[in-house]
Amino acid sequence: MVYTLSGVRFPTVPSVYKSNGFSSNGDRRNANISVFLKKHSLSRKILAEKSSYNSESRPSTVAASGKVLVPGTQSDSSSSSTDQFEFTETAPENSPASTDVDSSTMEHASQIKTENDDVEPSSDLTGSVEELDFASSLHLQEGGKLEESKTLNTSEETIIDESDRIRERGIPPPGLGQKIYEIDPLLTNYRQHLDYRYSQYKKLREAIDKYEGGLEAFSRGYEKMGFTRSATGITYREWAPGAQSAALIGDFNNWDANADIMTRNEFGVWEIFLPNNVDGSPAIPHGSRVKIRMDTPSGVKDSIPAWINYSLQLPDEIPYNGIYYDPPEEERYIFQHPRPKKPKSLRIYESHIGMSSPEPKINSYVNFRDEVLPRIKKLGYNAVQIMAIQEHSYYASFGYHVTNFFAPSSRFGTPDDLKSLIDKAHELGIVVLMDIVHSHASNNTLDGLNMFDGTDSCYFHSGARGYHWMWDSRLFNYGNWEVLRYLLSNARWWLDEFKFDGFRFDGVTSMMYTHHGLSVGFTGNYEEYFGLATDVDAVVYLMLVNDLIHGLFPDAITIGEDVSGMPTFCIPVQDGGVGFDYRLHMAIADKWIELLKKRDEDWRVGDIVHTLTNRRWLEKCVSYAESHDQALVGDKTIAFWLMDKDMYDFMALDRPSTPLIDRGIALHKMIRLVTMGLGGEGYLNFMGNEFGHPEWIDFPRAEQHLSDGSVIPGNQFSYDKCRRRFDLGDAEYLRYRGLQEFDRAMQYLEDKYEFMTSEHQFISRKNEGDRMIVFERGNLVFVFNFHWTKSYSDYRIGCLKPGKYKVALDSDDPLFGGFGRIDHNAEYFTFEGWYDDRPRSIMVYAPSRTAVVYALVDKEEEEEEEEAAAVVEVVVVEEEPIEE
């Protein structure tokens, strides 16, 4: 791991000083140093761009205070064979399929008590219902002055008391796990493996029930581990079994390693209690820097607490600091808006906070809330998937090398800023998904979990099994009790504390196999999924986390990034599946890149259709033509593959186009629509790609010198390619605008007709000679002509339902940068008689490189059109001049 400063994190920070008036036995206030010092803080408006925003109805931000300083700113390659594994009731020792759970370790949590188990920690950001009802009736003005809000949510069940309701929910007990054999009879040949897998899951559930009081209680590890606050003081606990001694250090005790020595229990948990100061204030003030100093087998080591909920990199420093984040009640964000209902079909806008500004800088949660969320709503997406939320020291890792799993990235603002973003999204009716990383962790030993207690086996497998050679990262030991507590609690934390509505789990293929999917071509042979190469511990963890999420948050959404095509992946856990709601259909994007490297004449429409529809029955998929992966430096976006350097000179409407631009604009629209139409039950787009964002993504980075002597050039820490030029898509004088309008029309087409989730889907034509694809989905008929020169008049296409069809979407519309060859006023009536295995047909005009969607006009819609036409006719008659 190269520890590289990724640029200026924020405009300024207060000066840090040390007081000489510290006494280890006296009041600690004189030694308190905070990165949130009010005396030296600048205006929150300057640092975070905006401290609050006003919706059309009323302010939604009630806790943005001027007192807090914000540091804002399925693969189809070669085949591989695996011998079938004969499973026995007890997995062999050290087997990849073994779940090594020590019953003595299981008792761990029951031995840990808070300072006062009857008192809820006051650092719980949800607070009491009475406190929050009062707080929600107030909003803060810029100077921190309280003002009564004109509105108060008086409903019986509000977002405020959601956490209390969740605690009362019981997670259903495990089912029989046998329905998978009814869904897919081929799985019976692998019953031994699958039954063993399910038995391991059930044993783990039983053990958690016995030793931890159930999965719900087990997943609240953050209420016992890390920093917890009670009425009498602060308790800090850390699991570090390899440490020989430990002390809590920080600004609050002048970094004195002898001041606050921790004690260890038999399970490797270190603990210390810090009583309140004599005036009742906490021993550690909000905003203080904290670390744990441990004497380890590798020497003395200062580490950021593993459960820290905020960490920060100060200017001119490379290591991050753990920050004790416990703001006063008046500075905490209070959620106002309930979660939106779970969408029937997902239309996901994949986003990255830092690069979401048109300007070359690191953007903030606040700016994303105020500027980007309304854009997402206007574009017609109903979900936003946010990357790089978990803190990551290396900005160029795109957020996938996580160092602090419970801390939202401080590059973009404070935890409360993130909460205000999510609340605003909910107000707009947008579901918020988080790109969560539980597949691996950063190799960083300064800021992260690697070598946390001086050993390589604290949270991870030791040796080669705990290291991902391609990603240069550490791999979790999913068979360890405390690792399960940590990761399950982490998932619960983001859903409960920040009100995320679900997750996209990154790197799931790497988790499920000991070979991590590297240099392996998955062919669909079931022996590739159920053998010695399967990491049963990891699969069981995925079953547990899906069980937890769906048990406590029934409307939460889980999406798994799996390229292998693992059977049972999206089948509920109680039926024997892994439990995800959706699989990310990764093969589609790879297919488009493969085709874009060929001539149009070499495209095969049958190959396109096969890739788009190659998914398992009853398992939902999220499809995409391109995501962030295709935009990274070294690759190209679809628009750049299609139009290349012509995008620099010929995208202005006042200049003549080129054949390359015309081809690129036409195919860009067709590729996205056919992917949405056939690819799955959900759709994803990475921000900016909806309008064909030019060039690539390149994070600010320095030159890297590798161990073999080679050098990877840097870019002088430039942010020029690490931003989104939304202004291009908005400019009416550029051709990008047409692509953006088409993408928007796609979203509204799905919103109106809900074709992605329709049970009716039939592909009636995939003609290689004509380069035509015709299919039905719901009450829509999609017609694609991929031919580069040929247009077809009176082209017959089959359909199921009789009646009248009209154009619902036309990629050749001049509004979308097309040539206007389709008459939108035309009506298409069905002919009886079988054609392309359909009982009826219609005759259409199919221009070259054009996609047209035809919608069946139902009687109610037809009557509305006739009434509207009659009204127009009356108005026209009334406006005729009267002759004298």
The CA distance from 742 to 835, in Å, is 31
- Residue 452 φ/ψ, nearest 5 degrees: -55, -45
How many C-alpha atoms does 128 have within 13 Å on its Cβ side? Answer: 7
The CA distance from 741 to 506, in Å, is 30
Amino acid at 110: S
Tokens 């791999």 -> residue? 475
- Please check whether residue 277 is in contact with residue 292, taking contact to mean a CB–CB distance below 8 angstroms: no
The yes-or-no answer on residue 506 being catalytic is yes
The CA distance from 593 to 641, in Å, is 8
Tokens 């937890």 -> residue? 548
- The beta-strand segments (E) located in 727-868 are 761-767, 772-777, 780-785, 792-799, 804-810, 828-829, 831-835, 838-846, 850-857
- Residue 290 φ/ψ, nearest 5 degrees: -140, 150
The active-site residue, picked from 212, 506, 537, 681, is 506
The CA distance from 393 to 322, in Å, is 12
Cα angle at 687 between 684 and 689, to 5 degrees? 85
Exposed/middle/buried for residue 795 (C-beta within 10 Å: 0-12, 13-18, 19+): middle
Tokens of residue 470, six digits:
């391609």
The CA distance from 368 to 384, in Å, is 11
In order of 136, 146, 149, 156, 419, the CA distances from 133 in angstroms are 5, 15, 12, 11, 18
Tokens of residue 468, six digits:
């991902």
The yes-or-no answer on residue 295 being catalytic is no
Query: Which DSSP letter does residue 528 get?
Result: G
The CA distance from 730 to 532, in Å, is 53
The CA distance from 194 to 596, in Å, is 40
CA torsion sign, 359 to 362 to 367 to 372? positive
Exposed/middle/buried for residue 474 (C-beta within 10 Å: 0-12, 13-18, 19+): buried
Burial 283-293 (b: 16+ CB within 10 A, else e): bbbbbbbbbbb
* Alpha carbon of residue 799 to chain centroid: 38
User: How many other β-carbons are positioned within 10 Å of the β-carbon of residue 462?
Assistant: 12
Give the β-pairing of 431-436 and 383-387.
parallel
- Please check whether residue 240 is in contact with residue 452, taking contact to mean a CB–CB distance below 8 angstroms: yes
The active-site residue, picked from 326, 496, 561, 741, is 561
- Please check whether residue 491 is in contact with residue 437, taking contact to mean a CB–CB distance below 8 angstroms: no
Helix (H) or strand (E) holding 140: strand 138-140
Q: Which sequence positions are flagged as catalytic?
A: 506, 561
